[in-house]
A and B are shown apart, each in its own frame.
Chain A
Amino acid sequence: MSVPAQKTASDFEPKIIALLCNWCTYTGADLAGTSRIQYPPNIRVIRVMCSGSVDPLYIIKPILEGADGVLVGGCHAGDCHYVNGNYKARRRVAIAKNVLSQFGIPGDRVWFRFISASEGKLFADTVTKMVATLKQLGPNPMKAQWEI
């Protein structure tokens, strides 16, 4: 109301839903924590057994509800605990991003990254970068919508 737009934008802290694979990225996030690597506390982590088990439903729902970004983390190419779930996830995420971008939600709100269990630093860097990108994009306009 009386808050200047400038101030609102700089105060904006994006909210990110992170769907992380149990075997790689979740463990990588754990490593970032145990190694005391600092990264922005903007993510809400949901552990999944495989990035390939992430139905596009769980990418679209947070975006519709007003989350500013969704991060899906899986194992590196060839490292999937279930042989090829991460490759399948890559295709599913590509479709979800395609659909969302057709309706004005930029692909930058949905990230899919391969991060292994030993890459705590990469995990922290990824979250840092994602938060910066989302700050530039601004809040998800769906926050204000109730007819979803």
Chain B
Amino acid sequence: MKSFVLNTQGDFWGTVRGFFRGLLTAGVVDLVLVPQETSSGRSVVSTLVRDPEKLVAPDPFAPLVLVSQAKVLGHLTFKDPKARIAAVCRPCEVRAAYELVKLKQVDLSRLLLIGVDCLGTLDPEVFRARLSGSGLKDLSEDWVASMRSGAASGVRSACEVCVEAVSGNVAANIGVVGTSPDQLVVEIKHELADEIAGALGLSAGEAGERAKALAALRTRREDARKTRFSQWRQAVPDLPALMAEMAMCLKCGNCRRACPICYCKECVFDGRIFDHESSSYVRWASRKGLIEMPTDTLLFHLTRLNHMGTSCVNCGMCESACPADLPLATLFAAASERIQAIWNYVPGRSLDDPLPLSTFREEELEPR
């Protein structure tokens, strides 16, 4: 890996823009997929940019993710896009993209993954509240300033216990953690390191405090994670307790739609399987005295856990999408940790680790 420190000379956002424009103008890639400020200046959305002139306000650091970039990569590479694309992803999005590669939903061959330092993002309503008065620029400015010291406040619950601020599985990473104002760190570990550095005129250098700041953050988050999980497991030891937690579920299925791993075009819960016979409801109600309508709330969440628990990357998009604020990020992170432990599988770590459910060993899991 080669590290470069860019001096922003008072124009941080210009430097960020210069980096992405450089990738296009130097011909490193044909297109760039990067979050940009919307024209209203009050939100940030992912954009696919071909024309360098249209790269006006890239803002990969803004603390808002509306749709996991991993899902976008699925759309982009569903068939060969016949163009090279640099895609900016946060660490959880890289992990999800890796899982989707193994699930044959993303093809990395045309993609150059560009990671970005991430200390967490905000829930949309928190984001909107913080915007009030000022615009995205001010919010991002403050956010980057606090990221430099390794701090982020008010992040989503999944982010509070996320230990990966920098992805190791990207061609290049742009970051600010542990830098001084006026610095932007670019780390490139791709074979294109020299080409990119040459094309963009980067000069080698390292940010002195970066390793220390990242290590401290990791320790802090690991502690928070342990505490969160043990509290959750104590509070929700059985199905009645889980039922109580899920009681507000609207059965809207947003969690599934927001989940980057739940890729099935025809989810079993969207099919006819759960359109039961009218007489079945009557029979069930007669047996138990009463049943909840519509049925199968808990079944939905537990089945989803079974289906995608091995690959859950703890991005927490399910919880952000939940209109009822169910503690889905904690449920899925805590439960999937135990599922993944059966095979010591770490989702998003490597393309060489086979998916637990796509492989098997002749002798294992005995006694059954």
User: For residue A107, which residue of chain B has the nearest CB?
Assistant: B368
Which A residues touch B297, using CB under 8 A? 147-148
Interface residue? B306 (CB, 8 A) = yes
Which A residues touch B296, using CB under 8 A? 61, 148
Which A residues touch B288, using CB under 8 A? 66, 143, 146
Interface residue? B53 (CB, 8 A) = no
**A137 CB to nearest B CB, Å:** 14
Judging by beta carbons under 8 Å apart, are B305 and A99 in contact?
A: yes
Q: How far does the alpha carbon of A141 sit from the alpha carbon of B237 in the complex, in Å?
A: 14
Judging by beta carbons under 8 Å apart, are A88 and B238 in contact?
A: no
Pick from B292, B360, B365: contact of A146, CB below 8 A: B292
Interface residue? A102 (CB, 8 A) = yes
Which B residues touch A88, using CB under 8 A? 357, 360
| Count, chain A residues at interface, CB 8 A | 35
Known: A99-B306, A103-B239. A64 touches B339 (CB 8 A): no
Stretch in contact with the other chain, from A2-10, A21-29, A35-43, A89-97: A89-97
Question: Chain B interface residue count: which class?
Answer: 35 or more
**A13 CB to nearest B CB, Å:** 16
Which B residues touch A113, using CB under 8 A? 368
Pick from B238, B241, B298, B342: contact of A94, CB below 8 A: B342
**Interface-central residue, B240, B295, B302, by most chain A CB under 10 Å:** B302
Pick from A60, A87, A93, A95: contact of B310, CB below 8 A: A95
Binding site for A on B (CB under 8 A): 233, 236-243, 247, 268, 284, 288-292, 295-299, 302-303, 305-307, 309-310, 335, 338-339, 342, 356-357, 360-365, 368
Known: A61-B299, A146-B288. 18 other contacts (CB 8 A): A55-B268, A90-B364, A91-B365, A94-B368, A95-B309, A95-B339, A98-B339, A99-B309, A99-B335, A103-B236, A103-B238, A104-B237, A105-B238, A111-B368, A113-B368, A146-B289, A146-B290, A148-B295
Binding site for B on A (CB under 8 A): 55-57, 60-61, 64-66, 77, 84, 87-88, 90-96, 98-99, 102-105, 111-113, 141-143, 145-148
